[in-house]
Amino acid sequence: MSDASWDPALDNFMAHCGAEKGLAMASLEATRFDLARLRRWAEAEGISAPISLRDNHLRSFLMESAGELGPSSRARLLSTLRSFFKFLLAENLISVDPTTTLIAPRRGRKLPAVLTLNQVERLIETVDGARPADLRDRSILEILYGCGCRVSELCGLDVTDLDRSEATLLLRGKGRKQRLVPIGEPALEAVGLYLRAGRSDLTGKSPDAALFLNQRGGRLSRVSVWNLIKKSGAAAGLPESLSPHTLRHTYATHLLEGGADLRVVQELLGHADIGTTEIYTHIDRAWLTEAWLGAHPRARRK
């Protein structure tokens, strides 16, 4: 590539991203959008070709763009710039990569929403019927909060995964990794009632090994669990953003609030990296601050 003006440089780079890097269409569109933003900024600054850009130019561009972008978009923009100039360097169009001195912005982590204990109890109490589906749904709500499992793990449960004598549940997480988690008395009682008086009425002609069955006797789907959470959440007057994962977040947060060790929570959640679990320490600290503000006589001015 002999011409290093904007059009050929961008066209060749996008061809490289599609053909050699194999980026998906959405990623290609995002890359094209980021580079179009860079080009508009550069041309407004009188910079007619990408090879004329220096690190101070890119720093100014990123600072001006930061106000219009969220943390993820800012990180993606820098990643696009690095890929683009690495490509120009490989094509011998530049002798120095101007992105090597740029520092990636810290990506903020959005804290997951959690429920209070009162909200959890209201949610569970929305299902109190005696029909087989009611007994099943009550068990599902108890297990999602009482065991902190993912919805996929819940739907993958078989009857044999419940050990009622040991009060444990065998979960199969990401990568089919197995872990045993304790199941509390309320959840154990709810599941026991469902097994005695509900599941047999849902079993079809060909009995399924699944613990939780749908009306046709097959394994319950994740969509059905989502619908249950939405319906029960609305009945309990909880936020529309409520999801099965909210109960998992709530489980972890309440454990830490109760004094559980972070490593224990990591094992119970099935996190491979404790860094994933550490986000709950931020929630825990927020809860402690809130509790302090409400309880300490010198927390606020009169």
> Which of the residues are catalytic?
150, 174, 245, 248, 271, 280
Output DSSP code: residue 127: -
> Which residues neighbour 32 within 8 Å (Cβ) at sequence distance 6 or greater?
10, 14
Residues 55-65: b if buried by 16+ CB within 10 A, e if exposed: eebbeebbeeb
Report the first-to-last Cα separation within the chain, whole angstroms: 71
CB 150 within 8 A of CB 245: yes
Phi first, then psi, for residue 179 (nearest 5°) are -150, 145
Q: Quick one: tokens of 113?
A: 């929403």
Q: Which residues pair with 34 in a beta bridge?
A: none
Give SS3 for 148: coil
Relative to beta strand 178-182, strand 168-172 is: antiparallel
In this structure, the chain runs to a length of 302
